[in-house]
């Protein structure tokens, strides 16, 4: 079997067994603390004792941090390919796969109730080149790259691109659930996830300082994942003037949508880092903002599920941790559990 065929087979093995391989990876870090008893791993100070209002999370800019110890490793690549992203794009390209500007997380600074996230410029493929490579080699029965990286919570070992994982709740006790299609996504295909979720990134490289704002990124993810908006906003797009951004932000300002940080954690399989957040909508606000929600988006299927303390399987570790933390803090988040049958995302329209 030539190198490209072998690599494709290994990639298919990864995509076909991410849940099982996640369990294997979970066993490789017995001494690294877990987030809320889930496989997601964390460092000291990454999970606060209570939800932190999103406005209390501070972001700091570091334009030139030291380079990571491990970057663009060649481990396991077929001959002729320099990076994992290059091989993936040529041999097994997902439907959504572009090297867009992103943010690198270089430090999480205390205190936990008003954390500082220190960020620097990066590109999306910087994360793919390491994260998908370590997952791929585990599917192939290898561990050399993973062993070189070491502690999954050491932000200096690799380029860490934080994703924002949001559990979207209604005050009456439902949440949005996403089934990620492995044919459409490069990461976590075949698994369930809360939503919206997306890599924390600016619209354009020129906007990296202006867009250094968790909420701005979350609003775009709501539009893309819940309403089915295209990710290409165009050069003339002005987010501040965008009616959806203004409506969602107005709901937050009025207290009809309440956004909180729940914690930060690392997936043991891909070493992806997630900033875990919760947004709780009053039911009427949810109906107004998401009455045109889709049931299928560019990354998979969308539904509503009962917020009842259970975690459906197979759930991505970040989603499991977000649900567990939201359940733990349901009183502080002002959510009343109200089990209902899973349903399409769109609420019934009134007369």
207 three-class SS = helix
31 domain-assigned? yes
- Given the structure tokens 């940080």, which residue do they identify? 261
Domain count of the fold of the chain: 1
How far is residue 118's CA from residue 112's CA, in Å, rounded to a whole number? 14
How far is residue 51's CA from residue 41's CA, in Å, rounded to a whole number? 18
CA triple 17-23-27, angle to 5 deg? 140
| CATH code at position 61 | 3.90.79.10
230 domain-assigned? yes
324 domain-assigned? yes
348 domain-assigned? no
- For strands 58-61 and 116-123, give the pairing: parallel
340 domain-assigned? no
Q: What is the DSSP letter of 240?
A: G
343 domain-assigned? no
Strands of the chain (E only): list them: 52-53, 58-61, 101-109, 116-123, 163-170, 174-180, 192-194, 197-199, 257-266, 273-281, 296-297, 300-306
- What does each of the 351 residues of the chain score in pLDDT, given as a tens digit? 689 999 999 999 999 999 999 999 999 999 999 999 999 999 999 999 999 999 999 999 999 999 999 999 999 999 999 999 999 999 999 888 999 999 999 999 999 999 999 999 999 999 999 999 999 999 999 999 999 999 999 999 999 999 999 999 999 999 999 997 777 665 556 889 999 999 999 998 888 999 999 999 999 999 999 999 998 898 899 999 999 999 999 999 999 999 999 999 999 999 999 999 999 999 999 999 999 999 999 888 999 999 999 999 999 999 999 999 999 999 999 999 976 544 445 433 332
Q: State which residues form the domain around 200.
A: 3-333
pTM: 0.93
CB atoms closer than 10 angstroms to residue 333: 22
How far is residue 101's CA from residue 112's CA, in Å, rounded to a whole number? 28
How far is residue 198's CA from residue 221's CA, in Å, rounded to a whole number? 6
């Amino acid at each position: 079997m030539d190198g490209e065929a072998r690599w494709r087979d290994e990639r298919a093995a990864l995509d076909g067994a991410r849940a099982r391989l996640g369990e294997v990876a979970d066993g490789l870090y017995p001494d690294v603390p877990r987030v809320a008893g889930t496989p997601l791993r964390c460092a000291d100070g990454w999970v606060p004792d209570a939800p932190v209002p999103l406005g209390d999370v501070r972001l700091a800019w570091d334009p030139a941090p030291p380079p990571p110890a491990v970057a663009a490793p060649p481990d396991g690549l077929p001959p002729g390919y320099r990076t994992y992203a290059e091989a993936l794009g040529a041999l097994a390209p997902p439907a959504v796969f572009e090297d867009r500007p992103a943010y690198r997380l270089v430090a999480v600074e205390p205190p936990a109730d008003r954390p500082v996230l220190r960020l620097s410029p990066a590109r999306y493929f910087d994360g793919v080149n390491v994260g998908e490579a370590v997952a791929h080699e585990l599917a192939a029965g290898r561990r050399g790259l993973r062993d070189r990286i070491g502690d999954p919570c050491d932000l200096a070992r690799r380029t860490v691109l934080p994703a924002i994982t949001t559990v979207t709740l209604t005050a009456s006790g439902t949440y949005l659930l996403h089934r990620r299609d492995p044919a459409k996504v490069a990461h976590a295909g075949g698994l369930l996830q809360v939503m919206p979720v997306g890599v924390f990134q600016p619209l354009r490289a020129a906007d990296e300082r202006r867009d250094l704002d968790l909420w701005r990124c979350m609003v775009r993810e709501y539009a893309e994942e819940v309403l089915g908006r295209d990710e290409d906003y165009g050069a003339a797009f002005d987010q501040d003037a965008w009616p959806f951004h203004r409506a969602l932000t107005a709901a937050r300002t009025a207290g009809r949508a309440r956004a909180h940080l729940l914690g930060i954690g690392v997936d043991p399989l891909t070493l992806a880092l997630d900033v875990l957040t919760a947004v709780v909508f009053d039911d009427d606000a949810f109906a107004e903002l998401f009455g045109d929600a889709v049931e299928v988006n560019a990354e998979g299927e969308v539904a509503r599920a009962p917020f009842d303390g259970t975690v459906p399987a197979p759930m991505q570790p970040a989603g499991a941790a977000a649900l567990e933390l939201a359940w733990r803090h349901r009183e502080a988040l002002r959510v009343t559990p109200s089990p209902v049958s899973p349903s399409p995302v769109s609420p019934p329209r009134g007369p």
